[in-house]
Amino acid sequence: MSGPEKPKVIGEEWGDERVKSFLFISPYDARINADFHVLIKAYQAMRAGDFERFLGFFTEAGRDINAVNEDGQTILDHVLEHRRSVPYAEALRAAGGKTAAEAGKG
Over residues 40-76, the pLDDT tens digits come to: 999 999 999 999 999 999 999 999 999 999 999 999 9
pLDDT of residue 14: 87
| 80 contact partners, CB below 8 Å, separation of at least 6 | 89, 99
**DSSP secondary structure string, 48-98?**
HHHHHHHHHHHHHTT--TT---TTS--HHHHHTTSTT-HHHHHHHHHTT--
pLDDT of residue 12: 72
pLDDT of residue 106: 65
Q: What is the pTM of this model?
A: 0.86
pLDDT of residue 1: 44
Give me the residue spans of the domains in the chain.
30-94
CB 59 within 8 A of CB 52: no
Query: Residue 3: is its pLDDT beyond 70?
Result: no
**DSSP secondary structure string, 3-14?**
S-SS----S---
What is the overall mean pLDDT for the chain? 90
